[in-house]
Chain A
Amino acid sequence: MTEPIVKIRGLKKNFGQLEVLKGIDMDIEPRQIFALIGASGSGKSTLLRTINQLEEVTEGEIWFDGELVNQKLPHRQRERHLNQLRQNIGMVFQHFNLFPHLTALENVTLAPVLLRRSSKAEAIEQAKILLDKVGLADRADYYPSRLSGGQKQRVAIARALAMTPKLMLFDEVTSALDPELVGEVNRVMKELAQEHMTMIIVTHDLRFAEDVSDHVVFMADGLVAEQGPPSQVFRAPQEERTKAFLQQVFED
């Protein structure tokens, strides 16, 4: 067994009085595809966002690639530590968050060039390969305002991949899309899965979760209620809450 790439221990997160995460333990192995499911408000996004420290942790530990993510550091050092960390973790958002003042290509090259990962020419070369991979080679010079939702999301994935991350986080990346555009984005994620990119996918699309993941975590009320391979969690859930949740979702 290899060392997990993400190791979460006793993770708690409060927003003021509100306890959102109430003690999470979780191990993610390299090349694993994690699906995170659960009712709205159960804390899925919050959990995802603590991993790359968009949210600070109230209690507990998060380890990424053998390094403690939430170390107490002086301001300057912490900033550097976070930038380093985040360069290795890609994130894709529900609302794309593409940079509207940059073209698709520039969105993808911005970080590698600024962070001196590669020369400008190399970055452009790399970006073109990535855009081609997500099926948007012909849209490289388009501004986000002229792309459809599905296209925007695929550019956002390419942008995250450009930093050659060791882990990709997806937070309901198809929820804001028209139904007919969901497929093209799912296809890109599926491809990444087949290439064994380590991924954590938060989704309400249970069929996709079952299809793509090799490990499913069902969250309820800020806790992990049940986890296991998709065949078990979806087909033979042990917990009452999981059953109730699945029943409700599949009824709709």
Chain B
Amino acid sequence: MDIELIGRIWPFFAEAAWVTVKISILAIMLGLTLGFTAALASLSRNPVLRWPARSYVSLFRGTPALIQLFLLYFGGPQIGIHLEPFEAGVIGLGVNIGAYMCESIRGAIISVEKGQTEAGSCLGLAHHQVMSRIILPQAARMMVRPLGVNAIALIKGSAIVSTISVVELSYTAHRYISSTYKPFEMFILASVFYLAIVTIFSYGVKWVDRGVALE
């Protein structure tokens, strides 16, 4: 193990880790927004809302994230979409994880007992009131964990943006492997950062989960 080399180049990895964090957070925010909207739309009784939402989920869960990213970044210019690698990374990852998050949110909403909806509508509450005041507050507690799983998958999955030359952790690892021929050292260095990010994030999810748990 080349400790001296690691000591020399770790700051580059730290900088790259920051890019991984930024791109992940932005993509998670985009994914949550899309996932939430799509979940509500897919549960609507109106087919004009339901159908596009379900198609979105099916198409984006049914194809590799890498292909979606390439289609956006390399194919985009052909249809007039010109994006910087970082922007394409955020959008590509966010739209992809949004489809998975939609399923997590939808699952949580569906898991709220039917009796809750009945009790709400028996009081004369309107559909949207039942949703916002009775179903969603209960579903929120059940979606934290699955959304956390989605988000952690995204952090690791964000490695694919290295293929469109976003200078994040995996890109940096690859570059130094090519220049130093030290794959083990570079793997360990990058892993330390990934594990740190994932671990901190997992604690964050657990903390939120405890916060929203029923008393």
Beta-carbon contact of A84 and B127 below 8 Å? no
Is residue A7 contacting chain B, with contact meaning CB distance below 8 A? no
Total residue contacts A-B, CB cutoff 8 A: 71
Beta-carbon contact of A114 and B125 below 8 Å? yes
Beta-carbon contact of B138 and A101 below 8 Å? yes
Is residue B113 contacting chain A, with contact meaning CB distance below 8 A? yes
Which one, A84, A100, A110, A143, contacts B123 given CB within 8 A?
A110
Is residue A154 contacting chain B, with contact meaning CB distance below 8 A? no
Is residue A227 contacting chain B, with contact meaning CB distance below 8 A? no
User: Hey, which chain A residues are within 8 Å of B127, CB to CB?
Assistant: 79
Is residue B115 contacting chain A, with contact meaning CB distance below 8 A? yes
Nearest CB of B to A174, in Å: 17
As a 0/1 sequence over residues 116 to 133 of chain B, the CB contacts with chain A under 8 angstroms (1 = contact) are 101111111111010001
Which one, B118, B121, B134, contacts A82 given CB within 8 A?
B121
User: Hey, which chain A residues are within 8 Å of B137, CB to CB?
Assistant: 101
Is residue B4 contacting chain A, with contact meaning CB distance below 8 A? no
Is residue A118 contacting chain B, with contact meaning CB distance below 8 A? no
Is residue A128 contacting chain B, with contact meaning CB distance below 8 A? no
Please report the total number of B residues contacting A with Cβ < 8 Å. Answer: 22
User: Hey, which chain B residues are within 8 Å of A82, CB to CB?
Assistant: 121
Beta-carbon contact of B138 and A83 below 8 Å? no
Is residue A163 contacting chain B, with contact meaning CB distance below 8 A? yes
Q: Cα distance A95–B118 when bound, in Å?
A: 12
As a 0/1 sequence over residues 168 to 179 of chain B, the CB contacts with chain A under 8 angstroms (1 = contact) are 000000000000
Is residue B84 contacting chain A, with contact meaning CB distance below 8 A? no
Query: Contacts A93-B118, A97-B118, A110-B133 given: A86-B123 contact, CB under 8 Å?
Result: yes
Is residue B2 contacting chain A, with contact meaning CB distance below 8 A? no
Nearest CB of B to A21, in Å: 19
Is residue A159 contacting chain B, with contact meaning CB distance below 8 A? yes
User: Hey, which chain B residues are within 8 Å of A98, CB to CB?
Assistant: 119
Q: Cα distance A91–B126 when bound, in Å?
A: 16
User: Hey, which chain A residues are within 8 Å of B119, CB to CB?
Assistant: 91, 93, 97-99, 156
User: Hey, which chain A residues are within 8 Å of B133, CB to CB?
Assistant: 110, 114
Nearest CB of B to A62, in Å: 16
Q: Cα distance A93–B113 when bound, in Å?
A: 13
Is residue A52 contacting chain B, with contact meaning CB distance below 8 A? yes
User: Hey, which chain A residues are within 8 Å of B122, CB to CB?
Assistant: 52, 54, 86, 89-91, 160
User: Hey, which chain B residues are within 8 Å of A89, CB to CB?
Assistant: 122
Is residue B214 contacting chain A, with contact meaning CB distance below 8 A? yes
User: Hey, which chain A residues are within 8 Å of B141, CB to CB?
Assistant: 101
Chain B residues 114 to 163 lying within 8 A of chain A, measured CB to CB, are: 115-116, 118-127, 129, 133-134, 137-138, 141
Chain B residues 82 to 127 lying within 8 A of chain A, measured CB to CB, are: 113, 115-116, 118-127
Is residue A119 contacting chain B, with contact meaning CB distance below 8 A? no
Of the listed residues B123, B129, B215, the one surrounded by the most CB atoms of chain A closer than 10 A to its CB is B123
Beta-carbon contact of B116 and A97 below 8 Å? yes
Beta-carbon contact of B125 and A111 below 8 Å? yes
Beta-carbon contact of A83 and B115 below 8 Å? no
Q: Cα distance A75–B47 when bound, in Å?
A: 13
Query: Contacts A93-B119, A100-B138, A101-B214 given: A111-B124 contact, CB under 8 Å?
Result: yes
20 A-B pairs whose Cβ atoms sit less than 8 Å apart in the complex: A54-B121, A79-B126, A83-B121, A84-B124, A86-B122, A86-B123, A88-B124, A93-B115, A97-B115, A98-B119, A99-B120, A110-B125, A110-B133, A111-B125, A114-B133, A143-B215, A146-B215, A156-B119, A160-B122, A163-B124
Residues of B that sit less than 8 Å from A by CB: 45, 113, 115-116, 118-127, 129, 133-134, 137-138, 141, 214-215
A sample of 6 more A-B contacts (CB under 8 A), given A79-B126, A97-B119, A101-B138, is A86-B121, A86-B124, A91-B119, A99-B116, A111-B124, A159-B123
